[in-house]
Amino acid sequence: MSTPPDPAATAGAPSGRARLQRVLRLQRRYATRDALVGAVLCLAVVVGVSPPTGATNPGAPSVEGAAFSAAMVGDLMFARHVEEVAAVRGYDALLEPARPYLEADYVTGNLEQVVSERDDLPEARKLIHLRGGPEPLGPLVDAGFTAVTLANNHTMDHGIPGLTDTLAALDTAGLAHVGAGLDLDAASEVLYQDLGGLRVATLSFTDAYVEGFVARAFQGGVMGSDETFIVPAIQRARSEADLVVVQFHWGVEYDFSPDRRQRELAELAAAAGADLIVGHHPHTLQPVERLGDAVVFYSLGNFVFDQGWSRTRETAVARYHLRPDGVAEISLHPFLIREATPRPLSGPTGWYRRGRIHLQLRGEGLDWRRDADRLVAEVDHRHVLEERASRERAPDDD
């Protein structure tokens, strides 16, 4: 396998000051709009318009009648100030409010940190380094997580020693992972899991580059998003699995819309055979759209994180319910992160935020409807069940 190019070697990442200035510009840009939306909602309350029926009691989703179910979230980070919250309340408490929404055959998120207890690790030449101990991994497994992705801009914050510790900790906890390894072959491996009667393939790529982070032939690292690797990898997964989930760490931090590069990669992945394309890295929510047979979640934002800006605290659990007739229901459940803990939105304040999150997530190509607190759409995924039937009919090579 040839070594992919490292885009970070020729293009520098924005400075911390530049990123801060960008966030401040975004706050100014959207402050007026958000104030107007809030004013309209407040006026509706004053004149006697009530929130939609059922909106203040989100309730847990049901998997009844689903042939297969999945739950997907964005960035998971248990270091920094999250550790301080967990020291008081415990890591289980951070995930407790979300547990009913994570009940599914397949549950995944992006683990954006190094997992190590060592204090003597080397530091990559970058502004922010994220590292925490292995204590959250057990609670993740207990909450239902079946896989985490590692192709991102923090897995290599502490070099090969940090990566080695992270992989070992995940293996010890029994939490499957994809997107990083101690050489290119290991980093590029597709994760295959038999869950809920389906063979699920998960692939993980990063388009958020840091120099030296991308895996090479004989060098550990994360899997980059070079097109010459992405397309054949997805095509192979399509031929071997029933459901293909492709995850990208991509886009521009704190943007609310996908950029041209995200759309190009999504189109490539969809054409190669992806069924679900899940994005993270912006730390904010971005629209959910349909591309052919694929559903694209451009960014699911943060999930467990310590960022304080209100828009980085607004998030969602994306659920996928495949019915026996091949129709898949996509449901988006709004959450708000408080003290590093994602909680389903409820009450009068929840009504306003739910509306804003729904507007943010509504994308093209899907016929969205509101069902209580959820945003729901359906897509024809009969081909997933057809893939399973074809695989089951095929002779066993063993």
> What single letter denotes the amino acid at residue 205?
F
Is the backbone of residue 326 left (phi > 0), alpha (psi -120 to 50) or beta?
A: left
* Predicted local distance difference test score (pLDDT) of residue 372: 87
CA dist 259 → 2, 39, 275, 364, 365 (Å) = 29, 30, 21, 15, 17
Beta carbons within 10 angstroms of residue 372's beta carbon: 15
- Looking at the domain assignment, is residue 330 inside a domain? yes
- Torsion sign, CA atoms 312, 313, 314, 315: positive
The whole-angstrom distance between residue 116's C-alpha and the CA centroid of its chain comes to 22
Please report which helix (H) or strand (E) contains residue 42, including its range.
helix 16-46
The DSSP annotation for 49-81 comes to PPPPTTTT-------TT-SEEEEEEEEE--STH
Q: Is residue 206 part of a domain?
A: yes
CB of 82 closer than 8 Å to CB of 306: yes
Task: Provide the 3-class DSSP secondary structure of residue 358.
Answer: helix
Question: Within a 10 A sphere around the Cβ of 282, how many other Cβ atoms?
Answer: 29
In 3D space, the residue among 17, 77, 122 whose CA is nearest the CA of residue 280 turns out to be 77
CB 113 within 8 Å of CB 154: yes
Which residue from 234, 249, 384, 260 is spatially nearest to 324, judged by alpha carbons? 384
Q: Is residue 49 part of a domain?
A: no
pLDDT at 6: 53
Token pair listed for 203: 């692939």
Report how far residue 131's alpha carbon sits from residue 220's, in angstroms, rounded to the nearest whole number: 18
Diameter of the chain measured on Cα atoms: 70
Domain membership flag for residue 9: no
Give the H or E element holding residue 299. strand 294-300
In this structure, the dihedral spanned by the alpha carbons of residues 238, 279, 221 and 82, taken in order and rounded to 10 degrees, is -140
Distance, in Å, from the CA atom of 56 to the CA atom of 73, rounded to the nearest integer, reads 22
**pLDDT, mean over the chain:** 88
DSSP state of 15: P
User: Would you state the pLDDT for residue 1?
Assistant: 54
**Domain CATH code at residue 231:** 3.60.21
Tell me, yes or no, whether 255 lies in a domain. yes
CA pair distance 110, 149, nearest whole angstrom: 5
Closest CA to 87 of 79, 95, 77: 79
pLDDT tens profile 104-145: 999 999 999 999 999 999 999 999 999 999 999 999 999 999
Q: What is the pLDDT of residues 153-205, one digit of tens each?
A: 999 999 999 999 999 999 999 999 999 999 999 999 999 999 999 999 999 99
Q: What is the pLDDT of residues 18-64, one digit of tens each?
A: 554 554 455 455 544 554 544 444 443 333 333 443 333 445 676 67
pTM for the model stands at: 0.87
The number of folded domains in the chain is 1
For 204, residues 6+ apart whose C-beta sits below 8 A from its C-beta are 149, 150, 151, 178, 179, 180, 191, 223, 247, 249
Q: Is 25 part of a structural domain of the chain? A: no
The range of the structural domain enclosing residue 344 comes to 68-391
What are the residues whose beta carbons fall under 8 Å from the beta carbon of 228, sequence distance 6 or more? 4
* pLDDT of 251 over the 70 cut: yes
Q: Output the pLDDT for position 4.
A: 56
Tokens of 184: 């290119």
Q: Which of 113, 61, 319, 72 has the alpha carbon at shortest distance from 202? A: 72
